[in-house]
């Protein structure tokens, strides 16, 4: 479910072909999970790219709902939301008839499933309670994303950075900390998990110390992020590429002579850590 700055929602006119779901209806972009998808968010990102060439920097989980249609069994669908302000006529649409922006007030006259129309209406109204009692933030409250980052130095004082894959949605072909987003877990546990999954490094949580927090506003229409940086006093293992679709390689760099293509806030965080500054802000007026 994609909304622009004018409060309009992007709808997809599906092919009118017998046997498919929602034939000839206005619907949301999406699709089914494939075996290679590591998560449902990865599924929706893949579908957005395959169907419309869309690569959105931030997706938020909104609801899980059952989609019912005559002749088909109800299907549970996980709905994500994102922001985009482009012209849908310029997108390389690979499936369906067209993409177009609509205001919620226009949707009662469109051919679309009632459940889809209700999802959009509920999102537009900023409802704080979803079916089943799940609480969501209202329209005026914007939850911040929490990222965790590993500041790792070898015996020569060099810092470990990874080269992000050229197809990465964020900072392609750029050097960055070993990092991840908290997923219903503590920041320390998240970083221990990410270090093992991404680079084969094993870290005892007791060997992690907090060294810096960067409160960041990436840009207009983007969610604020709290970037937490932890230093590992000890670890076992040699950095190796465990997720080649995300990282091309690990390398140790002298923090004084970092490569040109480093994520800007990574460069800033390294400088703050070396100076002993525990907190900084970026992007806020």
Equal fold, 2-133 vs 145-282: yes
Q: Specify the higher pLDDT residue, 243 or 69.
A: 243
| 12-21, 41-50, 87-96: segment of lowest average pLDDT | 12-21
* Residue pair 84/2 in contact by the 8 Å Cβ criterion: yes
- HEC string for 96-140: CCEEEEECHHHHHHCCCCHHHHHHHHHHHCCCCECHHHCECCCCC
Provide mean pLDDT across the span 2-22.
86
Q: Supply the CATH classification number for the domain 2-133.
A: 3.90.79.10
Query: What CATH code would you report for 145-282?
Result: 3.90.79.10
Give pLDDT tens digits for 62-119.
Answer: 887 776 656 556 667 888 999 999 999 999 999 889 999 999 888 988 998 888 888 8
240 or 143: which leads in pLDDT? 240
80 and 119 in contact (C-beta within 8 Å)? no
Rounded to an integer, what distance in angstroms lies between the CA atom of residue 88 and that of residue 222? 20
pTM of this prediction? 0.55
Angle 169-175-180 from CA coordinates, rounded to 5°: 60
Of 105, 73, 248, 252, nearest to 171 by C-alpha is 248
What are the domain boundaries of the chain?
Answer: 2-133, 145-282
Rounded to whole angstroms, how far apart are CA atoms 198 and 168? 15
* Residue that is written with structure tokens 């995300």 in the block: 246
Handedness of CA 33, 36, 37, 38 (dihedral sign): positive
Q: 157-184: per-residue pLDDT in tens? A: 999 999 999 988 788 999 999 999 887 7
For the cut 90, the answer to whether the pLDDT of residue 59 exceeds it is no
**Burial of 256 from C-beta contacts in 10 A (0-12 / 13-18 / 19+):** exposed
Distance between start and end Cα atoms, the chain: 29
- In which residue are the tokens 């006529």 written? 89
């Amino acid at each position: 479910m994609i909304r622009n700055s004018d409060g309009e929602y992007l709808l997809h006119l599906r092919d009118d072909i017998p046997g498919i779901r929602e034939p000839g209806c206005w619907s949301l972009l999406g699709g089914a999970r494939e075996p290679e998808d590591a998560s449902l968010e990865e599924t929706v990102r893949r579908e957005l790219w395959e169907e419309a060439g869309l690569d959105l920097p931030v997706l938020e989980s909104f609801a899980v709902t059952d989609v019912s249609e005559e002749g088909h069994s109800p299907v549970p669908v996980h709905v994500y939301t994102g922001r985009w302000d482009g012209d849908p006529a310029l997108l390389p649409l690979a499936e369906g008839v067209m993409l177009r922006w609509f205001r919620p007030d226009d949707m009662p006259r469109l051919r679309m499933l009632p459940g889809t129309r209700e999802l959009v209406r509920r999102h537009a109204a900023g409802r704080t309670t979803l079916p089943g009692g799940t609480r969501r933030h209202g329209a005026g409250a914007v939850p911040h994303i929490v990222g965790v980052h590993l500041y790792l130095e070898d015996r020569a004082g060099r810092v470990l950075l990874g080269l992000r894959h050229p197809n990465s949605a964020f900072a392609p072909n750029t050097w960055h900390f070993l990092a991840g987003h908290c997923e219903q877990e503590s920041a320390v546990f998240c970083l221990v998990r990410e270090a093992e999954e991404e680079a084969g490094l094993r870290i005892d949580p007791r060997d992690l110390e907090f060294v810096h927090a960067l409160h960041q506003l990436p840009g207009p229409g983007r969610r604020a992020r709290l970037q937490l940086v932890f230093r590992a006093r000890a670890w076992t293992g040699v950095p190796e590429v465990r997720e080649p679709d995300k990282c091309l390689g690990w390398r140790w760099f002298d923090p004084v002579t970092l490569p040109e293509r480093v994520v800007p806030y990574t460069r800033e965080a390294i400088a703050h850590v070396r100076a002993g500054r525990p907190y900084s802000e970026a992007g806020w007026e």
